Chains A and B, each alone.
Chain A
Amino acid sequence: EVQLVESGGGLVQPGGSLRLSCAASGFTVSSNYMSWVRQAPGKGLEWVSVIYSGGSTYYADSVKGRFTISRHNSKNTLYLQMNSLRAEDTAVYYCARPHYDILTGSLNYFDYWGQGTLVTVSS
C-alpha cells in the first residue's frame, strides 16, 4: 500500500527556515517523480516543486531561489528546504506523487497525496 507521511511543519518567523519531510512507503521515491503542492488557508491548490526520477528539479516562480526539493534514497524520503520564508508561504504543504505516462512521456495527475503539514509564517 502506498503511503506518504509529511512532517516538519510548524510556526516560523518571517525570514526563517524550515525543512519538511515526506516519508514514503509502498514504492521507491528515487524511481518516481515526486512533488510538493501547497494550500493557503481557505485558498486553492498551488503546485510548488517537483523532482524528477533523474534528479532534475523545478519550482514555481513564487518559491524559486528560496525553496529546495531533494530526496534521500536510502531513507525513501522527500524533503523541502524552505528559506527566507514569508507570510504568504503560510499553507498546508502536501507531498504528492505525479503520475508519469510511459507511453507518452508526459506528466499528468497526482495519484497519491500525503495528509499535509501546516506551515505558519508569523511573528
Chain B
Amino acid sequence: SYVLTQPPSVSVAPGKTARITCGGNNIGSKSVHWYQQKPGQAPVLVIYYDSDRPSGIPERFSGSNSGNTATLTISRVEAGDEADYYCQVWDSSSDHPGWVFGGGTKLTVL
C-alpha cells in the first residue's frame, strides 16, 4: 500500500515561515490534501488539491507538490498555528483503494 512520510516535528519562531514535508513515491502524480488538528478537536482541511485553500483558511497557508515531495508552507507563523498537521492522498493504485494519511507533524511555535 502507498506510504506517506512526514517529519514528526517542526519548530518555528513567530513571524517566520514553516515548511512541513510529505514524502511519497511519485507523490507529484497524486492530489495531496492537508489537515490541521488542534488538541481535542477534529481535523480541519487547510489545503486541498495540492494548493487550493478552503474558504476561511488564511492566505498564509499554501501548498505545493512535485516529484516525491509535497510541502505545506505556513508564512508569518502565529501562535495559533501550533497544531498537528497531516497530509493525505486517495490511493487508487492497489486492489483495495482507500485514503492514506501521513503520520503527522507537530508544529511548535517557539
A interface residues, Cβ below 8 angstroms from B = 35, 37, 44-47, 50, 58, 60-61, 94, 98-99, 106-111, 113-116
Contacts and interface: CB of A to CB of B under 8 A. Distances in A.
Given A35-B99, A44-B104, A47-B98, A106 B92 contact: yes
Contacts of A35: 99
Contacts of B90: 106-108
B102 interface: yes
Interface in B52-110: 54, 86, 88, 90, 92, 96-104
Nearest to B41: A115
A37 B22 CA distance: 20
A110 B99 CA distance: 10
B86 A45 contact: yes
A46 to B, nearest CB: 7
Contacts, number: 60
8 contacts: A50-B98, A99-B48, A106-B31, A109-B49, A110-B88, A113-B44, A115-B41, A115-B42
A109 B63 CA distance: 15
Contacts of B92: 106
Nearest to A104: B31
B15 interface: no
A98 B99 contact: yes
A94 B86 contact: no
Given A45-B104, A108-B33, 19 more contacts: A35-B99, A37-B99, A44-B102, A44-B104, A45-B86, A46-B101, A50-B99, A58-B97, A61-B96, A94-B43, A107-B97, A107-B99, A108-B31, A109-B45, A109-B88, A110-B35, A111-B54, A113-B42, A113-B44
